[in-house]
């Protein structure tokens, strides 16, 4: 049996890897046609145990639902991840990795440094076991708490911040996820260089499912006003249905042969880790459903699928339909995880 921690990805960047583009954001494909991608709900099939010492998290007193979502994410487990701790043993300067795994609050950094990887915090500045905490993103200067609303509360001073509204949140994510080190590929560089933010896309729009609910409870344990927000149960490629949405599939017949096109619909290259592997198997089917030809293709760090690009798999026969299945070989898992099984009509 693989332990819970061993199932965690080698680094924080797993959270960002292989995810689909923002919900409802139109993107132009190579032919100039716009398409929209429906966001999958956050339903991880490889759930983590809640991070230890959750009861000591002060934010949880009023934000229990949100804190409990965060507690089973890779953000919460960023420091205690066994694969991460093991990888540090081979690093000459392991402290260079700590800023992404136990960061001080981004918004407490000087304005000219905002958007860069923050320095690591000490045990006195917050429990290391909690990895990337609420304060890492929401903590502001002088004890203020930043968010999308700035709703008044007696618990703390709340301030509305541009970094929690629409595409303004990208700067927070990119600060850590642009880093390339060890097994981690800085996939946020792809998002940034392609200027996807200018097309209305965001990391949050993909990773955090939209919800409408009270964000907190008051002193009498009554829920606050219902507002639009985001689930903190981050969506990752550990969710098969979500991973499947990273690939656009179409099949057509050309000159008596069938071709399957696989397009990268993620906001960055696929994959985002050196030791992640996606194996796609395509079967050409005749009119009766019998397999007449098979093609297999592997996507990994040495043969990755670039942002917004496609690959064509060609069969040596003309098919009526094409079945595509996918296996996800992920860090910390002994067996691959099936994530895709779809049959297409050939155009």
Distance set, CA 125 to CA 60, 64, 104, 105, 139 (Å): 17, 22, 8, 10, 12
Whole-structure pTM value: 0.85
Average pLDDT over residues 167-174: 92
- Output the pLDDT for position 23: 35
pLDDT digits (tens, 9 = 90+) for 283-334: 999 999 999 999 999 999 999 999 999 999 999 999 999 999 999 999 888 9
Kindly tell me if the per-residue pLDDT of 90 is higher than 90.
no
- Output the pLDDT for position 9: 38
Distance set, CA 248 to CA 234, 291, 310 (Å): 22, 22, 9
Kindly tell me if the per-residue pLDDT of 198 is higher than 60.
yes
Please state, in angstroms and rounded to a whole number, the distance separating the CA atoms of residues 64 and 178: 31
pLDDT digits (tens, 9 = 90+) for 124-153: 888 999 999 999 999 999 899 999 999 889
Kindly tell me if the per-residue pLDDT of 32 is higher than 80.
no
CB 147 within 8 A of CB 160: yes
The burial of 123, by beta-carbon neighbours within 10 Å (0-12 exposed, 13-18 middle, 19 or more buried), is given as exposed
May I ask the CATH class of domain 240-345?
Answer: mainly beta
Long-range contacts of 256-259 (CB under 8 A, 24+ apart): 256/318, 257/314, 257/315, 257/316, 257/317, 257/318, 258/284, 258/293, 258/314, 258/315, 258/317, 258/318, 258/319, 258/322, 258/346, 259/312, 259/313, 259/314, 259/315
pLDDT digits (tens, 9 = 90+) for 240-296: 998 999 999 999 999 999 999 999 999 999 999 999 999 999 999 999 999 999 999
Kindly tell me if the per-residue pLDDT of 33 is higher than 60.
no
Spans of all domains in the chain: 5-230, 240-345
């Amino acid at each position: 049996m693989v332990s819970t921690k061993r199932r965690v990805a080698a680094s924080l960047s797993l959270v960002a890897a292989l995810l689909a583009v923002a919900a409802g954001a139109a993107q132009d494909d190579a032919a100039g046609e716009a398409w929209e991608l429906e966001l999958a709900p956050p339903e991880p099939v490889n759930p983590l145990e809640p991070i230890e010492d959750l009861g000591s998290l002060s934010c949880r007193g009023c934000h229990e639902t949100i804190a409990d979502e965060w507690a089973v994410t890779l953000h919460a487990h960023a420091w205690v991840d066994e694969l991460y701790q093991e990888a540090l043993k081979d690093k000459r300067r392991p402290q260079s990795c700590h800023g992404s795994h136990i960061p001080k609050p981004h918004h407490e950094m000087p304005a000219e440094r905002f958007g860069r990887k923050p320095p690591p915090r000490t045990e006195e500045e917050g429990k290391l076991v909690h990895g990337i905490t609420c304060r890492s993103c929401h903590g502001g200067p002088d004890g203020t708490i930043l968010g999308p609303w700035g709703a008044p509360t007696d618990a703390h001073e709340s301030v509305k911040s541009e970094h929690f509204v629409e595409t303004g949140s990208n700067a927070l994510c990119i600060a850590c996820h642009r880093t390339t080190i060890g097994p981690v590929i800085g996939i946020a560089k792809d998002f940034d260089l392609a200027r996807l933010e200018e097309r209305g896309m965001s990391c949050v729009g993909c990773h955090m499912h939209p919800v409408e609910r009270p964000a907190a409870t008051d002193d009498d344990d009554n829920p606050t006003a219902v507002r639009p927000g985001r689930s903190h149960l981050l969506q990752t490629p550990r969710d098969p249905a979500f991973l499947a949405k990273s690939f656009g599939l179409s099949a057509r017949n050309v000159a008596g042969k069938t071709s399957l096109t696989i397009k990268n619909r993620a906001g960055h290259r696929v994959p985002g880790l050196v030791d992640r592997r996606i194996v796609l198997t395509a079967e050409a089917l005749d009119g009766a459903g019998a397999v007449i030809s098979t093609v297999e293709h592997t996507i990994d760090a040495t043969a990755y699928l670039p942002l917004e690009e496609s690959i064509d798999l060609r069969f040596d026969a003309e098919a009526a339909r094409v079945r595509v299945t996918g296996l996800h070989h992920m860090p910390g898992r002994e067996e691959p995880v099936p994530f895709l099984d779809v049959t297409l009509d050939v155009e």
